[in-house]
Amino acid sequence: MLGLRYIQLLLVLVCSILAAAKSAVGSRTLVVFDDRVDDLSTYSEFFNLLKDHEFDVTTLELSDKSTKINLFERDTRLYDHLILFPVKGKHYSKQLAAKKLIRFNEDGGNVLALTVPQVSSDPIHLYLNQLGIYPSPRTQSLHDLFQDSTDLLFSVEQLENEIVYSNSNEKQQDSFNFGESVSAALLDNREQIVPILQASKTSFTSGNKSREASWTDGSQGYVVAGFQNLKNARSTWIGSVQFLSNKHFKQNQDLINELISWTLQEKAVIKATEVNHRHSGDNQTSYDELPYKVTDNVTYTVSLTQWDGQKWVPYVSDDVQFELRQIDPYYRITMIPQGPSPQDPTSELYSTGSFKLPNRHGMFTFVTDYKRSGLSYVHEADVKAIRHLANDEYPRSYEISNAWVYLASIATVIISFIAFVLFFISTPASLSEGVSTEKKTN
């Protein structure tokens, strides 16, 4: 019985390891913190969760002024993910300036940033401001008129993005605890911003000075927000460090797990694996073999795949569109899923079916521009020239029914002229030959 018990435990352990999600972009993670502000031992559950997700975590403490932060070695990024705890001091501003964070994110690195009202982390604030996320200043923290407890609770109903926090109705927790010190942020209207957790309608920010204007009022503020740049690198801001602490981890575990999965690209990651367009019909030749001309029939296909945390699987949706553009779109066609791609079974094949190119020559762009909030952006563009018809490619006049009237008119004129000539030639000599003439005299 004891041996059977060990076998069962081993099977459970193996299944849990196999079920652990992995990032689609890598596991190298740097955690920057300041032990004068936070003791990492109070976040042991959070770091255990990172290990369960198989992240290779490196911690760097910045209270020592001799500590240096190297995110790049020459032009090579050393880490895939960056987790920033609140840090105070000018040394932090020099070592990890906002420009370095922007460069790290633009190069494909993911950032998870945490702020608290009591500690001013200027580089984090400047970096977030560049993204369009504006946390409340150091003097202001979030409060709620209808919560007596010092700890602020947020309901599942305040979650806005279902992709980041999927199947929220099935979660056990119906609220999340952010502790007693919470920052609220205003969000820009950029399409790349992903609103996640909204402040309640009865909340507000207040500072030490009574005359200081409130940074946010009601549901205009957010306590968790994300950002995804056009290269699909992600950033997430959380307005409370206590949200990750062991004290509230059990209540917040579901949301923490989802935020890690989305920010560090374990979920909602899609990409195009194959893009193709060619002539339709029996002559299914490519553009290189036979360049397009106006009014040709063409078929466009694209294959999309999604990362499920372990492997790439087909991405199935009914809103993937194709556009044929020449400055403005000439066509916008919703593509139909065709099933797994024959070339790559891990991808779903989408097709426009056969469509006719416009009767206009020039440079056209074949585009799949699939952008959905929370999902990786897919932008595939191929510029091709569509030529006009050559002189010998235009239809003959007798093939055009509208031209028959004019052809008949021409034929009538020709026949009439020939008939006139024949009639003129065949006419007898002048009738005056047999008539006598007399000279009249007076």
Each of the 442 residues of the chain gets a pLDDT tens digit; together they read: 434 433 343 333 334 333 457 899 999 999 998 888 888 899 999 999 999 999 999 999 887 777 888 999 988 999 999 999 988 777 677 788 899 999 999 999 999 999 988 887 788 999 999 999 999 988 889 999 888 778 899 998 899 887 887 754 455 568 999 998 899 999 999 999 999 999 999 999 987 766 678 899 999 999 999 999 999 999 999 999 999 999 999 999 999 999 999 999 999 999 999 999 999 988 789 999 999 999 999 999 999 999 998 999 999 999 999 999 998 899 999 999 999 999 999 999 999 999 999 999 999 999 999 999 999 999 999 999 999 999 888 888 888 888 899 999 999 999 999 999 999 888 876 655 555 666 667 6
- Alpha-carbon distance 250 to 173, whole Å? 9
Contact (CB, 8 A) for 351 and 336: yes
Q: What is the pTM of this model?
A: 0.83
